[in-house]
A and B are shown apart, each in its own frame.
Chain A
Amino acid sequence: MDAYEELVTTQSASVYRLARAYVGDAGAPDLAHDVFVAAWRALPALRDPGAFGPWLHRIAVNRCRSAVRGTGRVREIPMNEMTADTAADPRDGFGAVEARAVVGPAYRRLGDEPRALIALHYAAGLSIRECADALGIPEGTAKSRLNAALATLRADIGRVEP
C-alpha cells in the first residue's frame, strides 16, 4: 500500500460521510471516489503536506457543491428519500429515517456555507478549526456561522417548501 492509499484509508469514512450529507446513500460512494481521485491528481499543487486533511476536505466540499448544483457527475438524492435502517433510537424514539424526513428538507434549504459547515463538522467529524481551514475562513467565523446554521436549521423544521 503506498502513501496515498494509506491516506485514503484514514480519510475514507470522513469523506464518504461528507459526500453522503450532500447526495445521500446512493450517490455517496461515487462522489467519495471522485474526491479521492481528484485529490490525487491535484497532489502536486499541495504546498504543505501537513495540510492534507483540510485541503482534501476543501476539494470534497467543492465536489459536493457541484454535485448538488447538478454540475457534477453525481447528482443529489434528497436525504429523506435515502434508504436507511429504520431502527428506532432506543433513547428517544426517533430513528434516522424520521429525522431525515423531517430535518432533511430544512438542511437542504440551507445556504452553501452553512450546509458545508454542518457537513464538515457533524458528518466528516472535523473540529471547528479544521472546518475553518477547509473553508478558508477564520476559526471564530466558522464557529459563529455553524451556530447560526444550526439555529436556522431548528427554526426551519417543518416549513413547507413553496
Chain B
Amino acid sequence: MTDRDQRLVDAFLEDLGSAPVPPGLEADVARRIRDERQQRVGRGGAWLAWAAVLVLVVALAGVAWVVAGPGPTPVPSLVLSPSSAPASSAPTVPAASATPSVGPSASARASAGNTSALFHLTLASSTSAALPAEVLDHSGMVTGVAEGVTGPMNAAPVGIGRGRDVQSIAVQWTGGSCDQLAEIDVDALASTVTVSTATMPSACDANGIERVVEIRFAEPVDVAAMQGRVGNPIRLDASIQPSAVAFMDADQGSVGGTQGNRGLAVVAQTFDGGASWAVTPLAWGKVVGLGLGGNDLHPLVAVSCADSIQGCVPGVYTGYGLHQWTRVLAVDPTRLAVDGQGVVVIEALPTEPTKSYPFPPTGLRLSEDGGDTWSTLRNPCPAASPSLTGVTFDLARELVVVCEGEGATGGAAKTLLRATDPPTAWRKIAELPLRGTGMNLDLSGNGAGWLWGARSPLMVTADDGVTWTPLSIVDGEARMVVAANSWASTGGVALVWDPDRQATLLLGTQDGTTWTEMHAFPAAP
C-alpha cells in the first residue's frame, strides 16, 4: 500500500465522520412522532405503542366436515377469553365488556366450517378511514388471496390501506378433494369485519388439514361486539402447551408453545406479568427455544419438527413485534439461546419436514448478527458425554454448553464447557454429578445461573457453573421444570409442570428463593 492510498483511506474515514446534519431532520422526526402519538391517543387505545395488533386466526378442520356433514346450523358460538382460560364448548356470545378493546392479538379458531358466516366484528365507532390491515397465511396451505374477487386468486398477502372504504378479501384454502373459499369483508365505513366461508358439499374431505389465515390490523381497534356464527364452536383457543420462555423483566415476556391437537407453534406475549396474553401463531411445529434479541429485542423462536407434525417447517424464526415471522435458519433445532446479537442453536441433522431425526444433534449454529448470517461449530462434547443438550451465553457472551452421556435414567455423565472468543476452543468448567437428563441452562451474569432437565430439580449456581445447588420449587420427578429464563442475577421465570393440577405453571422470582405463580396453562383435554 502506498502513502497515497493510506492518505486516501484517512481522508475517506474523516469524511465519514464530518458530514453536517441537514437542517430540519430533528424537527421532521419530532413532527412525525407527535403525529403518531396523536393518532394513538385519538383511537383511544391504552396499549403500548408498538403492540397494536389484532390477530384473528381462523382454522378450519376439514375432517369435521365429513363427520358433521351438512345439517342444521348449531347455535352461534364464540368464546372470548384470555388465552389461558379453559376453552368452553358452551354457546356464548362474546365480547367481554360494553366496549371491549381487542388486544394486541386475539385469535379465533374454528373446528368446523360447513356454514356461512364464521366471525363478525363490529367496531366501537364508525370511521371514515379504512383500516390498515393485512391478511397473512400461516398454514402454508392458502393457495390464493385477493381483494374483492371470488375466482382464482393470487398467492400474495393483501394490504388494506388507508383511503379505501370497503374491502372484500377472498381466501382460497387447499387440501382434500375440494378447495374452500373463505371471504373476509372489511367494511370500514360500516365498521364491520366479517369472515365467512362458502357452504361446502359434505363430500369435500379436507383430510384433517387445518387452514389458518390471519387478519392483522396495524393500529388499535376498539370493538363494540364480536359474534361468531359457525357450525361448531369458534373460540379463542386456550390450549397452549408451553415449552419455552423468555422474559425481559418481571412484567414483559413471551412463552412459546403449541396449540391444538395438530401442533401449531404459537408465541404468547404478556406485558403485565402474565395477567393477560396476546397469542400469535407462527408455524406448524414444536417450539423448543425462545429468546429476545437482535437490534430491538424481537423474539427469536426455534421450531422443531421432531414430533413429525404434518406441514412442519423447522427452523429459527424471527418476528419484529410479532408482526411478521421470517425463517432465518433452516435447520431442525433442539435448543436456542439468544444474547443481544448473539444467537446459538443446537441442531439436529439437516432434515425434511414431517420426518423424525436422529439424536444426538450434530453441532451448533452460531450467529453474531441477530440471525442474519450463520456459521457452523462442531460438537465440542467429549467422548464420555457426547450429546449436546443445553447451550447459553454467559455474561461475557461466551458460549457455554452442557454435554451428556448416554442413558435416559439421568445418571449419565454431564460436562459443562465454555468456549473461547471466537469459539475455536473449549475448556471444561465442571463435571456435574447430577441427576437428570436433557439438561439445559441459562447464565444471567455475576456468576449466577440456572440448570434444569427431566428428572432433575432446578439447580442454581453462584460461581459461573462450577458448583450447583437445588432449588425447592420442583422435586425433579413428578413436578419438573420445562424451561426457565433468568432476566437478572436472581430474578427470572420458570415453566413448571404440575401433575396435581395438570397444568404448566409460569412461576416468577425476584430473589431466587420466593416464587409466585404468574399464570397456569392447563393441559389440553
Contacts and interface: CB of A to CB of B under 8 A. Distances in A.
Interface of A: 1, 4-5, 8-9, 12-13, 16-17, 20-21, 25, 28-29, 32-33, 36-47, 55, 58-59, 61-62, 65, 84, 89, 92, 94-96, 98-100, 102-104, 107, 112-113, 118-119, 122-125, 135-138, 140-141, 150, 153-155, 157-158
Given A12-B25, A45-B296, A58 B30 contact: no
Contacts of A5: 26, 29-30, 33
Interface centre among B12, B13, B248 (most CB of A within 10 A): B12
Interface bracket on B: 35 or more
B67 interface: no
A84 B373 CA distance: 34
A16 B252 CA distance: 31
Given A45-B248, A58-B296, 8 more contacts: A12-B21, A41-B49, A42-B297, A58-B341, A59-B295, A94-B7, A99-B12, A141-B421
Contact of B249 (A40, A47, A92): A47
B397 A137 contact: yes
Given A41-B50, A113-B368, A100 B15 contact: yes
B8 A13 contact: no
Nearest to B28: A33
Contacts of B380: none
Contacts of B369: 112-113, 135-136
Given A45-B296, A112-B373, A154 B9 contact: yes
Interface string B24-58: 01101110110010000000000011110000000
B372 interface: yes
B370 interface: yes
B288 to A, nearest CB: 22
Contacts of A153: 9
B46 to A, nearest CB: 13
A96 to B, nearest CB: 4
Contacts of A4: 33
B163 interface: no
B421 A122 contact: no
Nearest to A104: B12
Contact of A42 (B8, B50, B293, B340): B50
Given A8-B29, A45-B50, A158-B5, A135 B13 contact: no
Contacts of A140: 421
Given A41-B49, A62-B370, A94-B7, A21 B25 contact: no
A28 B441 CA distance: 43
Contacts of A135: 341, 368-369
Interface centre among B7, B15, B28 (most CB of A within 10 A): B15
Nearest to B5: A157
Contact of A40 (B16, B25, B33): B33
Contacts of A16: 19, 21-22, 25
A118 B25 contact: no
Contact of A136 (B10, B14, B29, B340): B340
B293 to A, nearest CB: 8
Contacts of B28: 29, 33
A43 B49 contact: yes
A48 B252 CA distance: 13
A33 B372 CA distance: 23
Contact of A62 (B15, B295, B422): B295
Contacts of A118: 13, 16
B11 to A, nearest CB: 4
Shortest 9 CB-CB contacts between residues of A and residues of B? A136-B341, A136-B340, A99-B11, A58-B295, A103-B12, A123-B16, A62-B295, A99-B12, A96-B15
B17 interface: yes
B1 interface: yes
B332 interface: no
A125 B293 CA distance: 24
A9 B33 CA distance: 14
Interface string B322-346: 0000000000000000011110000
10 contacts: A28-B22, A36-B33, A62-B296, A94-B8, A94-B11, A96-B15, A102-B8, A122-B17, A136-B339, A137-B341
B11 A89 contact: yes
B9 A157 contact: yes
Nearest to A20: B19
Given A9-B26, A37-B29, A96 B6 contact: no
A22 B19 CA distance: 13
Nearest to A10: B26
